[in-house]
Amino acid sequence: MTTVTIDRPPVNAMSAQVVVALESALDVLAADPETRVALLRGAGERGFTAGADIAEFPALLEKRADAGREGIQRLADKIEDFPKPIIVAIHGFCMGGGLEIALACDIRIAALDARIGLPEIRLGLLPGGGGTQRLPRSVGPGRARLMIFTGEPISGRRAYEWGLVEDVVEAAELFEKAGALARTLAAQSPHALAIVKALARETRDAALGDGLRTERAAFSRCLAHPDAREGIAAFLEKREPRWSATQ
């Protein structure tokens, strides 16, 4: 398990510098055979992140830059393409670009009292880091429009009810719960985890028949890997498996 901490006090604003640092960290973790799972969380008590650093927006206006593709959207795409599971623990504020980053992660766990939203409409903008595309896939188009049109945040409890996060716990238990889940995933076959993540990404928008064919091919790749033989043997011998370090 590896923890990547966004450290940008006081509200962990996602400046261009922070985005680049996270991208570099992902590159290092992807190449590290000892890293099987990444756990992403924000530093401090106030929250995961308040979103993009608005102080940088005037420069974007001057350059007329494609802020989404060049910044948070690029990072979100990188997280989605990361070959290992990424868990995100959401406490306090998770706004704007922070939510867009969380939406790209594999598993989201939130504190009950977290405040989660996309407030860009209040700046005369729209979520440009993937929010208009990934949020409807999590909560449905109507709820996504409600959040984007109003800019109003929802609680961690409501996010769980809507399917935006996979689990919700008391704030004091959040990081312990996320860490326990990360350890559970880290105990699985790295090869099987990578195959499952790639399969989910490849078949997300596929027709059922196409998805089933892709699944069969993925299952065959798993069977051909040494971890399949080891996993079956460990089960029959009632012992813990010794997975291969390779994906």
- Catalytic positions, please? 100, 120
User: Which residues on adjacent β-strands are paired with residue 40?
Assistant: 4, 88
Helices (H), the chain: 16-31, 57-63, 67-70, 72-81, 97-104, 131-139, 141-150, 156-161, 174-186, 190-203, 208-224, 226-237
Residue 131, token pair as written in the block: 């929010």
- Residue 76 CB neighbours (<10 A): 24
DSSP 8-state symbol, 114: -
Total residues belonging to the chain: 247
The kind and range of the H/E element at 55 are none
Whether 90 and 102 have beta carbons less than 8 Å apart is answered as yes
CA distance linking residue 136 with residue 140, whole number of Å: 4
